[in-house]
Homo-oligomer: A and B are copies of this chain.
Amino acid sequence: MQNRRIVLSQRPSGMADVSTTSLELRERPVCGAGEALIKVGLLSIDPTIRTWMNDAPGYLAPIAIGDVIRSGGAGVVVESHSDRYAIGDVVIGMTGWQEWAIASAENRFSVVPRGLGLDLATVMNVLGTTGLTAYFGLMDVGLFRPGDVVVVSGAGGATGSVVGQIARAKGAGKVVGIAGGPEKCAEVVELYGFDECLDYRAAHLGRRLRAACPEGVDLYFDNVGGEILDAVLANIAMNSRIVLCGAISQYNSLETSKGIAHTPMLIMRRGRMQGFIVFDFASRYGEAQVELAAMVHAGTLAHQEHLVHGLEHALDAMNHLFTGANHGKTLVVVDESVRLDG
């Protein structure tokens, strides 16, 4: 009746390492009135977790030293004193990096409906925060319009790959990815169907971007920030929309960023740059999930889940998001027995 969990032992400076977290053995948490006990099956490994490790203002409070690493995840309800959860329900929410979690009034989980016909990893990827972030970022923040020339950074990543495919399905004029290395770029074109993919590690990104988008970029979905954001800003079309979703190029950075020099282009081109967090759209997740599930069933939304087995590998799995070693959505398998039926 124990709970293995990974806690923050020390705030990282730059890339997190062995001194950042430690694996603890604790008592299994007790499920009180109005609560449910969840056996954790999968963890969603997202770049934003790295930002919560800093003692810096964010959209959520920093993880406290000694606390379990905050993380999305999925599990199965094994005990319930709440009308919201039945034993056997598969639920998604903030599990943290641990084997057992408690659903409570402060930490609500959503129950995955039965009969989706998708496996749990796919649900966590495409119907979870990854797919939802792609959908609402593109459609609601980016105000996507058919015909738009859309550029997506982190195009081989979990969110970016979905953004490009939704844009394609909805009639983008052109979909251009930005990713690291020729192998990733090939995957973005061949697997995810982008029209083109630019390798940011090669020289003259700005010039190649101009060649790919001679009329300028109408909509840019930014997962990386920094120099790539600056290069796109220098190439925006009139009335362009820049969606700030993430800034992974900055999360492990020790130096002060070189900064964005091309903000005056927003004046010249009447551009708009807007940041968002998917949680802001929580009341509307359903509409996006219906559409995304339909695309998966129709075979028009390619997706990959990169499964890492063992809670103890969660930190390495997170670090791989920043080196580009991951393909698709990274999930840590804590307990293989947690599954969706048919």
Can you tell how many copies of this chain the complex includes?
A: 2
- How distant is the Cα of A256 from the Cα of B261 in the complex, in angstroms? 8
Q: Contact between A267 and B258 (Cβ–Cβ < 8 Å)?
A: no
- How distant is the Cα of A256 from the Cα of B264 in the complex, in angstroms? 13
Q: Contact between B274 and A273 (Cβ–Cβ < 8 Å)?
A: yes
Range for the number of chain A residues in contact with chain B:
20 to 34
Identify the closest chain B residue to A266 (Cβ).
B275
- How distant is the Cα of A272 from the Cα of B275 in the complex, in angstroms? 6
A270 at the interface (CB under 8 A from B): yes
Identify the closest chain B residue to A240 (Cβ).
B275
Binary contact readout A209-225 vs B (1 if CB under 8 angstroms, 0 otherwise) = 00000000000000001
The 16 listed contacts between A and B (C-beta, < 8 Å) are A57-B268, A59-B269, A225-B263, A244-B263, A247-B264, A247-B267, A250-B264, A257-B259, A260-B260, A260-B261, A263-B273, A265-B275, A266-B273, A267-B275, A270-B280, A271-B275
Provide the residues of chain B in CB contact with A57, threshold 8 Å: 268
Within 8 A of B (CB), among A261-307: 261, 263-277, 280
Identify the closest chain B residue to A263 (Cβ).
B260
Additional pairs, 9, CB under 8 Å, beyond known A247-B263, A259-B260: A250-B264, A258-B259, A263-B273, A263-B275, A267-B276, A268-B275, A269-B275, A270-B276, A273-B274
Provide the residues of chain B in CB contact with A58, threshold 8 Å: 268
- How distant is the Cα of A259 from the Cα of B226 in the complex, in angstroms? 10
- How distant is the Cα of A275 from the Cα of B256 in the complex, in angstroms? 25
A96 at the interface (CB under 8 A from B): no
CB distance from A248 to the nearest CB of B (A): 10
Interface SS of chain A: helix, strand, loop or mixed? loop
- How distant is the Cα of A268 from the Cα of B267 in the complex, in angstroms? 23
Q: A244-B264, A259-B261 are in contact. Are A274 and B271 (CB under 8 A)?
A: yes
A177 at the interface (CB under 8 A from B): no
Binary contact readout A189-221 vs B (1 if CB under 8 angstroms, 0 otherwise) = 000000000000000000000000000000000
A246 at the interface (CB under 8 A from B): yes
- How distant is the Cα of A299 from the Cα of B216 in the complex, in angstroms? 46
A69 at the interface (CB under 8 A from B): no
Q: Which 4 A-B pairs have the closest CB atoms?
A: A259-B259, A266-B275, A267-B275, A272-B274
Identify the closest chain B residue to A258 (Cβ).
B259
Identify the closest chain B residue to A59 (Cβ).
B268
A166 at the interface (CB under 8 A from B): no
- How distant is the Cα of A242 from the Cα of B58 in the complex, in angstroms? 19
CB distance from A231 to the nearest CB of B (A): 12
Q: A259-B259, A263-B225 are in contact. Are A273 and B273 (CB under 8 A)?
A: yes
Identify the closest chain B residue to A60 (Cβ).
B268
Q: Contact between B246 and A267 (Cβ–Cβ < 8 Å)?
A: yes
- How distant is the Cα of A263 from the Cα of B223 in the complex, in angstroms? 12
Identify the closest chain B residue to A57 (Cβ).
B268
A245 at the interface (CB under 8 A from B): yes
Identify the closest chain B residue to A241 (Cβ).
B274
- How distant is the Cα of A270 from the Cα of B274 in the complex, in angstroms? 7
A312 at the interface (CB under 8 A from B): no
A162 at the interface (CB under 8 A from B): no
- How distant is the Cα of A273 from the Cα of B272 in the complex, in angstroms? 6
A229 at the interface (CB under 8 A from B): yes
